[in-house]
Structure 1
Amino acid sequence: MTEDPVFCVPSGAILGHEMAGRIIERGKGAERFAIGDRVSVLPISSCGTCASCLAGEPAWCAGMALHGGGFAQYFAVSERQCIALPSTLSAEDGALVEPLAVGLHGVVMAAMEKGARVLVVGAGPIGLATIYWARKMGAGRIAVTARTRQREDMALGMGADLFIDPQAADDPAQVSAIMGGLPDIVFECVGQPGLIDRCIKLVRPRGTVVVLGLCTKMDQIDPFFAISKEVRIQMAVFYGIADFENSARALDAGDLSPRAMITDSVGLSDLPEAFEALRQRTTQCKIMVMPQSMEKASAL
């Protein structure tokens, strides 16, 4: 984490970018929220005045910066970054808004038609969020594949119809037989070298590959194979204000399935042990960090 050439986190940085909490103090000119309001926080700071910011897309502001801060008792953010949480939602729900917004943004970028065949590669939190939104937005048959079946039940609970073993998922003919045709859209939600090329081979001719996995290493694809199928490759990253708001609304509507991603909760004092445990293959999906009290939550 501190050595990655792209997403290097400097030593001493406060992590935690999936966060929610209660407003305890307001700065000068901050009037949108009152003391005591509970909010989910979009972890992107921006200028607030450019065309992207005014359109609710701070990720594309020239001055944007990602930040953490959730693994602390208190943090300061601009009111522009805050999304009000309905009274029905807990701080834990608020910390789930960020990963749900990533999945929503990816499905929106896919321009998915109703009834589309969808294959999701990866059953981590982003893959699960993608399954959730693909189902809610009208996908037909949804399949998921991952290197193990540990999260098969969780994926099915989020809306997938079936799990494809990784060996079968390497063979387009087997995928086509299982799904009733090659998928119209393949979502790459892992971020490992070689997976984009694999997804290109699995999608139907003139299908769409949406890349949500953050691979920070150099990678290769077979451009001739991609162009011979006229595959559309759509990169997708971050989210907008609307994605956050719609994710909070989905939770507020009483849909409990995203909460199944939370497999454990820890306090700040338990974080080092939790991180060490994640170095090994584990059944954990998302660990909720509860700094000090239930008034604030951040997801790991």
Structure 2
Amino acid sequence: MKAAIYLGDGKPIVIETLPDPVPGPNDLLIQVHRCGICGTDLAMTRGGAWDFGSNVQFGHEYAGEIVEVGCDVSGFRKGDIVSVLPSAACGQCASCRAHGNNVLCHADTTPMATGFAEFAKVPAYLATRLPSTLTVTDGALIEPLAISLYGVQLARIRPGDRVLVLGGGTVALYAIYWARRLGAGRIVAMSRSARREALSLAMGADTFISFDDGEIGAVQEALGGAPDIVFECVGAEGMLAKAVSHAAPFGRILSLGFCTSPDPIVPALAAYKCASIQFAVGYSMTEFLYIADHMDKGHVDPKTIVTNEIGLDELPAMVAALRGPNDETKVHVRCGGI
């Protein structure tokens, strides 16, 4: 099969031919139809401390068709269309028992982020069957939708809460989507560039504001007061401080940006607001199952953010292009099959 390989140390991604994976008794063999390019893929293939490693497969936003079912697997059959939760978990450690967040399990480190390939072998417990109303494009969006849903749930939105979302990428757009569905009042989206204004409004924001010197007053005017909840979805230095500057007294700040560099704040400024800051990563199977069941019942089609589909052979060039100025939001890779 063809598969994308990251050589490590910031070297270009290459497409290589590997042996087809062979499923074990508890596995599914999936022909990958779609895999989304994530900001993490860009950040962790440029070299440095946060790096995927050397000579590794990657790709974690994927969905496809089951082509082989392990002999001990029940509940799935050949031809089923599934989305994959791309983090293995032991189910027994403290993190698994307490939270069910697979990303936090460090006991089972089996690599599951192998979506940029024609085929992927996955344990059946990580697969979510898609209802007939959803497509493989929908399926490849469940993972990023789950990230934002998990974070928005942690923010404990109360009906009518004023919400500010910092950022215009996938996680930010889906944070808007879920905040609207889970009962937020007015929502402001804020980003450096107005390029994502239309998508932010489509996802459920009431107003879009660009970063500038008068942004605090503009946000409060649009919301009718300071935000009760601020979602930081940029992951760049200075964004936590910006979130603190906007938060209302006793405001809640939820960091989903996954910044891999130091991002200082002045604790006294947060203290004078009695603000709380929570960091989040990952999701559980609960989010995957919920999204698969309810994805087609929202106020907007989540596929709206998909701006391009490319072939697997085009992935290395697209990753290079996404590192510079571009007009893409979510790019999906057609890895195999339809």
Cα distance in 1 for residues equivalent to 2:72 and 2:93: 19
Q: 1:53 to 1:252 in 2, by over 3 A?
A: farther
1:13 CA displacement: 1.6
Which of 9, 22, 25 lines up with 2:65 in the alignment?
22
1:48-106 CA-partner distances (Å, limit 9, x unpaired)? 34465466432332314364111100011111111111111111110000000111011
Which of 253, 258, 266 lines up with 1:209 in the alignment?
253
Which stretch has the larger CA shift, 247-256 or 37-46? Answer: 247-256
Which of 221, 227, 232 lines up with 1:177 in the alignment?
221
- The residue correspondences of 1:147-296 to structure 2 (distance < 5 A) are 147-168=192-213, 171-253=215-297, 256-294=300-338
Residue pair 2:102, 2:282 contacting (<8 A) in 1 also: no
Cα distance in 1 for residues equivalent to 2:299 and 2:115: 25
> What corresponds to 1:298 in structure 2?
none
TM-score normalised over the length of structure 1: 0.92
- The residue correspondences of 1:20-99 to structure 2 (distance < 5 A) are 20-50=63-93, 52-53=95-96, 56-65=100-109, 67-99=112-144
> What corresponds to 2:9 in structure 1?
none
1:194-239 CA-partner distances (Å, limit 9, x unpaired)? 1101101101010000000010111211001111110010111111
Residue pair 1:58, 1:64 contacting (<8 A) in 2 also: no
- From the two aligned structures, give the one with the greater strand fraction: 2
1:31 CA displacement: 1.8
1:178 CA displacement: 2.9
TM-score normalised over the length of structure 2: 0.82
Q: Cα RMSD (Å) of the superposition?
A: 1.7
Cα distance in 2 for residues equivalent to 1:56 and 1:219: 28
1:103 counterpart = 2:145: no
| Runs (5+) with no aligned partner, structure 2 | 1-44
Specify the code of the residue in structure 1 equivalent to 2:141: L
1:293 CA displacement: 2.1
- The residue correspondences of 1:127-166 to structure 2 (distance < 5 A) are 127-166=172-211
1:170-198 CA-partner distances (Å, limit 9, x unpaired)? 64333222321000000000100111011
Cα distance in 1 for residues equivalent to 2:108 and 2:161: 35
1:110 CA displacement: 0.1
SS of the residue aligned with 1:11?
A: coil
Residue pair 2:228, 2:247 contacting (<8 A) in 1 also: yes
Cα distance in 2 for residues equivalent to 1:105 and 1:15: 23
1:141-193 CA-partner distances (Å, limit 9, x unpaired)? 0000111011100110010001012105x643332223210000000001001
1:127-147 CA-partner distances (Å, limit 9, x unpaired)? 000000000011110000111
Specify the code of the residue in structure 2 equivalent to 1:12: N
Residue pair 1:26, 1:35 contacting (<8 A) in 2 also: yes
SS of the residue aligned with 1:4?
A: coil
Specify the code of the residue in structure 1 equivalent to 2:296: D
Specify the code of the residue in structure 1 equivalent to 2:320: E
Cα distance in 1 for residues equivalent to 2:194 and 2:298: 28
Cα distance in 2 for residues equivalent to 1:171 and 1:74: 47
